[in-house]
Amino acid sequence: MHAYPYGCTTHLVAVVALFAGLLLGFPGASQAQRESGIQLSPESNRYFITKDVGSERWAITYNLDDKTVSGNVFPLDGGAPTFLTCDITSVEQADVPADAQYFMECRGSGPCAAAPCTDQWDPAFPVGPVPGSFLLPTNTLSTYEGNVQPIYNRSCATSAVCHGNGAQDVVLARGVSYDNTLLVESDGVNGAQGPFITPFDPSASFLFAKLDGTGEGAQMPFNGSPLTPEKMDAIRNWILEGAANN
C-alpha cells in the first residue's frame, strides 16, 4: 500500500483504510450471513463484484473496455456509502491469474446531496498491488493478457508475413488482436468459417480450430510446430471462461 496525499478528506481516509484491509485479506464481519460473488456480463466486457472487505460491503464493477474499477462501498453497520472510481495503471501478469498484481489510481467521494453535484471527489491516490483473486472469478484459469496474448506473441505475430502488424490476414499483435478476433467473421482464403473467437464456445471459434488442426486449410502456426497441449489449454480455457479482454 502506497502513502496517500497529506490533507486528504474523511472519505479518502476511509477508502485508503478499506484498501489496506483488502490487501491484508481480513474477512468481513458478516460473511457468514452474506454471500459474495463475481459475475461476467453477457457481453464479456465487465465483471460485477460484490464482497465484504473488513466492515464494509463492496459493490463494484471492473470495466474491461476502459480498465476502470468503480462502484459503492457500504458500511455493514449502516450509514452513507462511499463512492469509488479507479483507473488501472498497470498489471504485473502471472501464469496463474489469481496471482497477477493490479496497480491503480483511485478517488473516493461521499454522496451528492442534491443536483447540481459539485466536485466532491478526493484527490487521486495510488493503490496496489491488488491481487487478481479480488477482481477475477475464483479458479479463473486463463486471461487474455496474462496467458493468451503471450502465445500470440511467441507463435503467431512473429512477423508481418504471419500475423504481426502489416499482415494481410488477421493481425494478432498486442493492442489489436482482441478487436480483430472477438466475434469477427472469418472470410479469408478458406471462405466464411464463422467468428475467429466465439465467447464460451471453442468449437465455434475458427481461430481455435486452425490451431488444433480441425479448421479448413493448413494448421497454424503455418510451417511451425503445433502449439503444445498446455498452450492449447490456455486458449481453450480463456474462451470457455468468456473470452474477456482481461
Over residues 76-106, the pLDDT tens digits come to 888 899 999 999 999 999 999 999 999 999 9
Cell numbers found for residue 235: 486458449
Query: Which range, of 6-20, 109-123, 127-141, 189-203, averages the lowest pLDDT?
Result: 6-20
Average pLDDT, the chain: 86
**pLDDT given for residue 15 in this prediction:** 57
Cell numbers found for residue 78: 449502516
**pLDDT given for residue 6 in this prediction:** 31
Task: Tell me what the mean pLDDT of segment 41-55 comes to.
Answer: 93
Query: Which range, of 45-54, 189-198, 222-231, averages the lowest pLDDT?
Result: 189-198
CA gap 96, 88 in Å, rounded: 19
CA gap 98, 139 in Å, rounded: 8
172 contact partners, CB below 8 Å, separation of at least 6: 152, 156, 157, 163, 164, 180, 181
pLDDT at residue 120 above 90?
no
Between the two ends of the chain, the Cα-to-Cα distance in Å is 23
| Residue the block writes with cell 496517500 | 4
Note every long-range contact of 167-170, with CB atoms under 8 Å and residues 24 or more positions apart, other chains counting. 170/196, 170/207
pLDDT at residue 164 above 90?
no
68-75 sheet: strands from edge to edge: 37-40, 46-53, 56-63, 68-75, 82-92, 101-109, 125-131
More confident residue, 227 or 169: 227
CA gap 193, 209 in Å, rounded: 10
Task: Tell me what the mean pLDDT of segment 123-146 comes to.
Answer: 95
Task: Tell me what the mean pLDDT of segment 30-46 comes to.
Answer: 84
Local confidence band at 20 (pLDDT 50, 70, 90 cut-offs) = low
pLDDT at residue 12 above 90?
no
**pLDDT given for residue 22 in this prediction:** 56
Cell numbers found for residue 168: 494481410
Task: Provide, rounded to the nearest whole percent, the portion of the chain with pLDDT above 70.
Answer: 86
Asked whether the bond before 81 is cis by omega within 30 degrees of 0, the reply is no
**pLDDT given for residue 217 in this prediction:** 82
Task: Tell me what the mean pLDDT of segment 98-127 comes to.
Answer: 92
Query: Which range, of 24-28, 51-55, 87-91, 146-150, averages the lowest pLDDT?
Result: 24-28
**pLDDT given for residue 117 in this prediction:** 86
Largest Cα–Cα distance of the chain, in whole Å? 65
Task: Tell me what the mean pLDDT of segment 14-20 comes to.
Answer: 56
For Cα atoms 194, 241, 213, give the angle at the middle one, nearest 5 degrees: 45
**pLDDT given for residue 89 in this prediction:** 98
For the chain, what are the domain ranges?
10-135, 144-240
- pTM, to two decimals: 0.86
Note every long-range contact of 207-213, with CB atoms under 8 Å and residues 24 or more positions apart, other chains counting. 207/170, 207/181, 208/235, 208/236, 208/239, 211/235
Task: Provide, rounded to the nearest whole percent, the portion of the chain with pLDDT above 90.
Answer: 61
